[in-house]
Amino acid sequence: MLNLQNTSLRSVLASIALVLVNPMALRAQTAGPEASKAAIVEMRSISFFPKSVTIAEGQSVVWKNVSYTDHSATSDDEAKSFDTNMIVPKASGQPLVFAKAGRFPYHCKMHGRTMSAVIIVTSKP
């Protein structure tokens, strides 16, 4: 199945994206001792990037809107355990700390299921 997540971004954006998020680096971070640094997830035109981020308990996530329209990161559970509310283009949300281990699927309130992703929080050894 094709999964061309980057096709909608223009070259300028793409280069910014590369600087900002390197999924390999993120994974390295979560594994290391300085796991408290925030993981960054980009909000793109109609997707989150990366689509799945793994962090350690106590680490935080920042959503950064690099697209041209508003987005939110809103947890899928009915209790709405987290919700950044709408973040306007070029802005970032407040860092959000994930205190407990688990799998946290989320989506954008405006764009629904099409724009969804997951944060995986691993428990500390």
Partner 1 sequence: MKPIFAVLFLSLASSSCLAYSKPKKNEGPTTAEGPAATDLPAFDYEFGRPIEEGEKTYSWYRKTHADEAAKRLGFDAAAIADGMDTWHWWVGVDNPDFWRDVAKLSGSHLNKTNLRLDVLRMLLTTPRAERFKKLGLINDPDCVAATKPDQFGLTLDRMKDGTLTWDPEKFGYSSGVIGLQIFKNEKFDSKKWSLAQYMDDPKSVEAPYKIGMSCAFCHIGFNPLKSPSDPAEPKWENLTSAIGNQYLREGLIFGQDVPASSFIYQYVSTQEPGTSETSRFPMDSINNPTNINSIFRLADRLKLAKEERITVEQKTLIESMYKNAGVPLDSPIGALGGTEAEPTLKVPHILTDGSDSMGVLTASVRVYVNEGMMHKEWYPSWPLNPFHITDSLKRRFMPKEFDIIHEHRKDPNSPWMQTERRMPNMATFLETYDSFPLADAEGGKAFLSTDKALLKRGKIVFADNCASCHSGKTPEGLTNNPAERKEAWRKLVLSDDFLKNNYLSDDQRHPATELGTNVQRAEGTNAQAGSTWGQMSSQTYKDMRAVPMKIMDFNANGEALPLYNPLSGKNDIDWTGPSAFYRTPTLVGIWATAPFLHNNALGDYKADPSLENRIARYGDAMTKMLWPEKRLGIKSIKVTSEDSSFPELFPEMLKTIKFLDGLTLKLLYLPKGMPVNLLMNLNPKHFPELVEAYIKGVLNGEPRHKFKSFINSRRDAGMASMLQRMLELNTVPDFIEDRGHTFGSKLSDEDKKALIEYVKYF
**Which of partner 1, Cu ion, none lies near 24, with the C-beta cut-off 5 to 8 A by kind?**
none
Integer-rounded Cα radius of gyration of the chain: 14
Among 61, 108, 119, 121, binds Cu ion (CB under 5 A): 108
Tell me which residue of 120, 125, 124, 123 sits closest to 26, measured CA to CA: 120
Tokens of 37: 């640094």
Our CB check for Cu ion shows the closer of 41 and 108 to be 108
CB of 75 to partner 1, least distance (A): 8
Residue 75 · residue 82 · CB < 8 Å: yes
- 31: exposed, middle or buried (C-beta count within 10 Å: 0-12, 13-18, 19+)? exposed
Of residues 66 through 105, those in contact with Cu ion by CB under 5 A are: 71
Q: Does 110 bind Cu ion (CB under 5 A)?
A: yes
Our CB check for Cu ion shows the closer of 27 and 109 to be 109
| Residues contacting residue 28 through CB under 8 Å, at least 6 positions apart | none
Q: Does 110 bind partner 1 (CB under 8 A)?
A: yes
Separation of alpha carbons 53 and 61, rounded Å: 9
Among 41, 55, 107, 121, binds partner 1 (CB under 8 A): 107
Please give the residue ranges that form the binding site for partner 1 (CB under 8 A): 1-5, 7-8, 10, 45-47, 67-70, 75-78, 81, 89, 102-107, 110-114, 116, 118
